[in-house]
Amino acid sequence: MRQVYAGVMSGTSLDGVDAVVADFAPATGRPCALLSASHLPFPRELASELSALQRAGHDELGRAMRAANALADIYADAIHAALAGTGLAAADVAAAGVHGQTLRHRPTEGATLQLNNPARVAERTGMCVVADFRSRDVAAGGEGAPLVPAFHAALFGGAGHRVVVNVGGIANLTDLPPAGDVRGFDTGPGNVLIDLWHARHRDFPYDRGGAWAQSGRVVETLLAALLAEPYFARVPPKSTGRDLFDSDWLVSRLGGHDIDPADVQATLVTLTARTIADAVKMHCGDAAEVLVCGGGANNDALMDALATLLAPRAVTTTASLGVAVEHVEALAFAWLAREALAGRPGNLPAVTGARGLRVLGAIYPK
C-alpha cells in the first residue's frame, strides 16, 4: 500500500519554494520514490520582505503576519503544482511536511522561529499539514538543526562510509559511518554570502555555475579574515544561519579594503569549500565518498574546489544515486511528516545535542 506524503522547503537562499510528492512504500523496495516535484520562485517583493524580517524593524509583527500568509499561499500552490504531476488527489496524500521560512534561529536562547501559516496551507490544500519541526528539539536542549541527517541515513546510509553535504544558504553535513552514530552539523555559510555578493554587484540573485567566481582570484588575506570567525572552530553540535552570516558580517571582514568584486566572489566560494572540507577532514574520519546536494551542487566553481580540497575522496552529487540535488530537503520534510504521524522520533540527539529522541512537528488535520 502506498504511503504518499508531500514535502515543502524554502531555505535560507530565499530563492523560492521546492515541493515534492513521494511514496515512502514503493514497490522497488527503496526508502522512497519521487512521484513529482515543483519549484516556485519567490516574487521579488516577498523575497525582499523576508530578508528584511531577519532584523527588527517597524511594524515587524504586522509585516510578519502578512508575509506568513503570502508564504502559505505559495506553499499551497507549490504542493498543488507537484500533485498535478502525479494523477493523485489531495485525499491520497497522508500529510504535507511544511518547514516554513527561518527568520530567527537562536538555540542558545532556547528559541527558533520559522515563519509559516500551516493552518492556511491545510485549508488551501485540503491536506493534513505538519509544521514547526525544530522547536521541540530546541525545547529539549538541542540545536534544532540540522534535521535532515536522519533522512540522509535512511536514504543514503548502509553503503560504506559516506558524507552527505547539503549546500543551501547554510551548508550542513551528515556523517554516515558504517557503524556507530550518525552525526551532523552546520559547517557555516553555503550560498548565502555568495548569492548576496553576486546580487549586489551583478543584479542577479545567484552566480550561474559559479562563472563569475571563476573569473576572479582568491584573496588570501581576506580568506584568512573570514576563516577567523569563531563559529568554525566550535565543536559540534552546532547550527547557524543568517543571524550570524549576513551582509554586516561580510562587510566587517572586508574592512573597507578596495578589493575587486570578482575576487571577493572567488574568495567567498573558497570560504564555503574550505569550511566544508575542513569539517569533513576533522569530524568524518576515513569517509571515502562525499555526496553534495542543494543549490551549491550546481556551482561548478564550488564543486571543483571541493573535489580538490577533499581528494582523494570521491566527490559527486546525490543525482548519481538518482536523487536530484534540489529535491533532497523537500523529501526530508515529507519523511519527517511521516515520522510525526507515526509517532516516531525525527531528531538525532547525537546531531542536535537534545536530551533525547523527540517526535517533531505540530499537526494540523485536514
The per-residue pLDDT for range 210-221, each reduced to its tens digit, is 999 999 999 999
What is the pLDDT, as a whole number, of residue 192? 96
pLDDT at 14 over 90: no
One domain, residues 317 and 357: no
CATH number, residue 91: 3.30.420.40
Q: Which residues, at least 6 apart from 293, have a Cβ–Cβ distance to it below 8 Å?
A: 164, 165, 166, 167, 317, 318, 323, 325, 326, 328, 329
- The single-letter code of the amino acid at 325 is V
What is the pLDDT, as a whole number, of residue 159? 86
Region 186-211 average pLDDT? 95
One domain, residues 191 and 220: yes
One domain, residues 332 and 246: no
Residue with the three cell numbers 519541526: 133
Region 229-252 average pLDDT? 96
Distance of alpha carbon 28 from alpha carbon 228, whole angstroms: 48
Question: 63: burial class by Cβ within 10 Å (0-12, 13-18, 19+)?
Answer: middle
What is the pLDDT, as a whole number, of residue 36? 98
One domain, residues 100 and 181: no
Region 294-310 average pLDDT? 98
One domain, residues 90 and 231: no
One domain, residues 284 and 351: no
Domain range for 220 is 149-321
One domain, residues 168 and 241: yes
| Residue 257 binned pLDDT confidence (cut-offs 50, 70, 90) | confident
Region 80-92 average pLDDT? 97
One domain, residues 16 and 39: yes
Report pTM: 0.95
One domain, residues 78 and 154: no
pLDDT at 185 over 80: yes
What is the pLDDT, as a whole number, of residue 28? 79
Average pLDDT over the chain reads 96
Distance of alpha carbon 318 from alpha carbon 156, whole angstroms: 9
One domain, residues 201 and 295: yes
What is the pLDDT, as a whole number, of residue 26? 84
One domain, residues 345 and 314: no
Number of domains in the chain: 2
One domain, residues 72 and 181: no
The tens digit of pLDDT for each residue in 314-346 reads: 999 999 999 999 999 999 999 999 999 999 999
| Residue 57 binned pLDDT confidence (cut-offs 50, 70, 90) | very high
What is the pLDDT, as a whole number, of residue 29? 77
| Residue 114 binned pLDDT confidence (cut-offs 50, 70, 90) | very high
Distance of alpha carbon 121 from alpha carbon 339, whole angstroms: 20
